[in-house]
A and B are shown apart, each in its own frame.
Chain A
Amino acid sequence: MKYFYYPGCSLRGMGKAYEESWLKVCQKIGIHLEEIEDWNCCGSTTYLGFDEIKSLVLVSRNLAMLEKEGGSEVITPCIACYYLFNRTNHNLRDYPQLKTETNKMLQEVGLTYSGNVKVRHPLDVLVNDGWMEKISQNIEKRLERFKAVCYYGCQLLRPYCEFDNPKNPKNMDILVSLTGVDVLDYPLKTKCCGAIITSNIPEKGLELVYVLLKEARKRKADFIVVTCPLCQFNLEFQQEKIMKVYEEDVGLPILYYTQVLGLAMGISLKELGITRCLTLTPEFERSLI
């Protein structure tokens, strides 16, 4: 089955491993992805602090090109892109004036956007489009020896999540459970990790990440599973400093759900980008093999 696909800048940068593992999993279960040709950055929330209409145009160019190719849905694994795409659709619908202006700008290069492309996240597609059976069929080595918590973060759930319960999401838990990993209850799963702030003003947000790690450790998790490149980075790079400040060993590997699925499917650590992990200790690496 074919889906249109928008990777987003992060998946070509710090979230490289996310894309690598996601593509591998897709290949394994038979999802064909067609990348939007010559896509551009969605602007992320940072751009929203600069200009409303240009932000809408940045997103709309991508979706207009997709519509030109005959698409009506797009998968975007990055949660910032997921939010921006949904926001664009909502604002084009809620403010007809903005839609007119946006299309006026797009028409400069012969494009036009309806505002109706359905935005999908892999956690939506994999669970709701019936791929779970395919995933189960492809599982070669069950990961029953591991305990983990699933951490969803913010922009996937807020404010536009329609495919899962935004106050108590389950889809990632369901998918990771398929591999045999014991998914633990984690009340912090929808909290903010503060990445956009902490990666720029680290001293202000240490506590957020500390609590996330501490509570995962308290629950005896072997790793935290995430769905956002920025969460992954933020939860990783602060660990050293946190352990110094709080004088407590709260270190944990941070993996993408696609990496966990890939591991259970017998795909190599390197192919899944797990070797790009900053928190990959030799012991943990050994335990994965």
Chain B
Amino acid sequence: MSTNNKEIRIGFYICHCGTNIAGVVDVDKIREFIAKKDNVVVSRNYKYMCSDPGQELIQKDIQEHRLNRIVVASCSPLLHEKTFRNTLEKAGLNPFYLQMVNVREHVAWVHSDNEKATEKAKALCNAAINRVRYNKPLEKKRVPFHQDVLIIGGGIAGIHSALILASAGKKVYLVEKKPTIGGHMAMFDKTFPTLDCAACILTPKMSAIKENKNVVLWTNSEVIKVEGYVGNFKVTIKRNPRYVREDLCIGCGQCIESCSYKEAKYPDEFNLGLSKRKPIYIPFPQAIPNSAIIDDKTCIHFKMGKCKQMCLSACERNAIDFNQKEELREIQVGAIIVATGFKIYDPQKEPEYGYGVYPNVYTSLEVERLINASGPTAGEVILRDGTKPKSIGIIHCIGSRSEKANKWCSRVCCMYSLKLAYLLKKHTHAEIYNFYIDMRTPGKMYEEFYDRLLMERVHFIRGKVAEVTDISLVKEEEGKLILRVEDTLASVIRRIPVDMVVLSVGLEPSEDTQKLAHILNIGLSAEGFFQERHPKLAPVSTFSEGIFIAGCCQGPKDIPDTVAQAGASAAEAMAMIDAGYFEIEPITAHVLDEFCSGCKSCINICPYSAISYDESKKKVFVNETLCKGCGTCSATCPSGVMKQNLFEDDQILNEIEGLLVYE
């Protein structure tokens, strides 16, 4: 194909993007410059190319001037490539005859010298004109979409997503690592700002999961392998043994009564070690499944091999099964929703706050249990040393907003600290001090809740406590924990003696986040949470099609936002399922069969396992549904016969030439 082929008729459009581009790049100059190029039939500039009139302009030109190649110089193709491809399609042109030039993010937004920016834009536009001559028509392919959905994580986000999908008739696999669903929300006492009881609003949803026929609930289970692609994921799940058959156990607790351990001896995970449990236990009264579990690390049978197995005989339904083994299950799903939540910051990383040294220093999550009616003290606020606090200090921002811990604001701590202040006041009538840096209460009725707390005679001291000690200087401080703080509004240093310290710890990515990101092939943002596809416009999507994220695994957020994301990801998954098929971009690799020597260099290097070897032909072939078009194989192929659609040699080389020689 010659570059002067008279058949090629190019239309060029440069967008002002208001003043975003035109404020830096001289768009008239570019238009005139491109108009003089070979094969360019139309060259225009326009205020907003992405607007309806902008798109109509292109369509009209295509029809009137018989254009067969289009170059649009505007923003990043990530934003509007789809828009303009549709425009071409509507005008009856193959959408892959479009070439975009990013003169906004790559030029206007990053340069301050207008003249130089215009020169750069010239080169980039010329490169696109050069390349677009070589673009070829491509066809999108459709693959069928599996109807089932996997949800990883059984906290409020996973529960909510599962219920929405199930109510729409979709089959959902809900996989939870712990023995019960409910997540962190099940541990909370009340929720802000309405102060409704967390269990009262959560447990009906937990029961609904149990009862819904469309939900397959696997607790004590982990996702260990994910293969395939959007619409066709093959997932391997490890189900750890519970040693109690869920289908038989009714949670009567006879086994627990009869356990050889007369006294509960081991720290109870659900109450964060504030109470004890036996080796056989039910995590909490409303646990789902409401079934006992045996912890094989503490059970005498598993530790020593000799136990009278009183639990076995106590169970009338013969639900106990010491022979249960770990099981691997393989399932097929079309979409995956990740809702793995968060973990709290470990305050022992900052020894100055005395956590783990002074028994009366608690994390906020421990306090949730302490004031909960079903908690270790049945809702009475009694400290580890057996006393009732008369004064309490709540220190905000522990582990948050710091280069030394987590840089981010954890978003929920101000509000939950206000809530704890309120509840502790109600429970103890103690003097309560909140130590904050900035009070952050953005949310419906949140500021109003702060206002209510101000009227509750809770102290609000602006300043971060530097240390918690038991070293007294005056009589009133003896036997107390002393907080040294700068009251930054009064500009004085204060020492405040209290009986109890609450550390408002921040939220961070849960333990297995990195491992799971690797299994799912989805990204992590700098702070270690899962990376959304776009911070504003695709907040629950990931860069892997068909995999969605919801709740705190994407970043710290409160329950309303978590539930909103859970709903959103369910809806997005459903949109894909209900379409029945998935369109894959034709930007994939293919082999020029006759020249392939069968060296297999490309097979191992492919990050998506999309290339296989055909023994009979002694050649490789590409699975187009798996191929993501990364180009690694084309670059690797020693014979140069692995080609990639839309990134072929003559396209790239001419683009480069156009970049280097443009006047």
A215 to B482, CA, bound (A): 15
> Main SS of chain A's interface residues?
loop
Query: B208 an interface residue at 8 Å Cβ cutoff?
Result: no
Tell me if B607 is interfacial: C-beta within 8 Å of chain A. no
Give A269 to B469 CA distance when docked, in angstroms: 37
How near does chain B come to A239, taking the closest CB pair, in angstroms?
18
* B473 in contact with A207 (CB, 8 Å): yes
Q: Confirm or deny: A30 has a beta carbon within 8 angstroms of a beta carbon on chain B.
A: no
Categorize the interface residue count of chain B: under 10
In the complex, A279→B352 CA distance in Å?
32
Whether, in the assembled complex, A168 has its beta carbon less than 8 Å from a beta carbon of chain B, the answer is yes
Which residue of A187, A188, A211 is within 8 Å of B473 (Cβ)? A211
User: B471 interface residue, CB < 8 Å from A?
Assistant: yes
From 207 to 225 in chain A, residues with beta carbon under 8 angstroms from any chain B beta carbon are 207, 211, 215
> Closest A-chain residue to B354, C-beta based?
A187
Q: How far is the CA of A215 from the CA of B473 in the complex (A)?
A: 10
Among B352, B469, B471, max chain A CB count under 10 A is at B471
Q: B interface, by DSSP: helix, strand, loop or mixed?
A: mixed
Residue on A nearest B351 in the bound complex, by CB: A167
* B 473-487 contacts with A by CB, 8 A: 473
Contacts of A215 in B (CB 8 A): 471
Write the chain B residue with the least CB distance to A215.
Answer: B471
> Which B residue sits closest to A167, measured CB to CB?
B351
- Chain A residue at smallest Cβ distance from B470: A187
Minimum C-beta distance from A143 to chain B (A):
27
Q: How far is the CA of A207 from the CA of B352 in the complex (A)?
A: 20
Closest CB in chain A relative to B283 CB, distance in Å: 35
A211 adjacent to B351 (CB under 8 Å): no
A167 CB contacts on chain B under 8 angstroms: 351-352
Q: Which of A57-90 contact B (CB under 8 A)?
A: none
B468, chain A: closest CB distance, angstroms: 11
A168 touches B351 (CB 8 A): yes
Q: Which residues of A contact B473 (CB under 8 A)?
A: 207, 211
Indicate if the CB atoms of B471 and A188 lie closer than 8 Å.
Answer: yes
B residues 419-477 near A (Cβ < 8 Å) are 469, 471, 473
A211 to B474, CA, bound (A): 11
- Which residues of A in the span 117-176 have a Cβ within 8 Å of any Cβ on B? 167-168
Residues in A whose Cβ lies below 8 Å from that of B351 = 167-168
A residues near B471, Cβ cutoff 8 Å: 187-188, 211, 215
A250 to chain B, nearest CB (A): 13
How far, in angstroms, from A207 to B351 measured CA to CA in the complex? 24
Output the least CB separation between B478 and chain A (Å). 11
Q: Name A11-63 residues within 8 Å CB distance of B.
A: none
- Output the least CB separation between B246 and chain A (Å): 47
Within 8 A of B (CB), among A175-190: 187-188
Chain A residues, Cβ within 8 Å of B352:
167
* Cα distance, A170 to B59, chains bound together (Å): 77
- Distance of A168 Cα from B473 Cα, bound (Å): 22
Residues in B whose Cβ lies below 8 Å from that of A188? 471
- Chain B residues with CB under 8 Å of A168's CB are 351
For A187, the chain B residues whose CB sits under 8 A away are 469, 471
Q: What is the CB-to-nearest-CB distance from B385 to chain A, in angstroms, rounded to a whole number? A: 18
Q: How far is the CA of A187 from the CA of B482 in the complex (A)?
A: 14
Give Cα distance in the complex from A168 to B352, angstroms: 10
Chain B residues packing against A (C-beta within 8 Å): 351-352, 469, 471, 473
Tell me the A residues contacting B by CB distance below 8 Å: 167-168, 187-188, 207, 211, 215
Q: Beyond the given A167-B351, A187-B471, could you list 7 further A-B residue pairs with CB under 8 A, ordered by the A residue number?
A: A167-B352, A168-B351, A187-B469, A188-B471, A207-B473, A211-B473, A215-B471
Interface pairs A-B: 9 shortest CB-CB: A167-B351, A215-B471, A211-B471, A168-B351, A211-B473, A187-B469, A188-B471, A187-B471, A207-B473
10 of the cross-chain contacts (CB-CB < 8 Å) are A167-B351, A167-B352, A168-B351, A187-B469, A187-B471, A188-B471, A207-B473, A211-B471, A211-B473, A215-B471
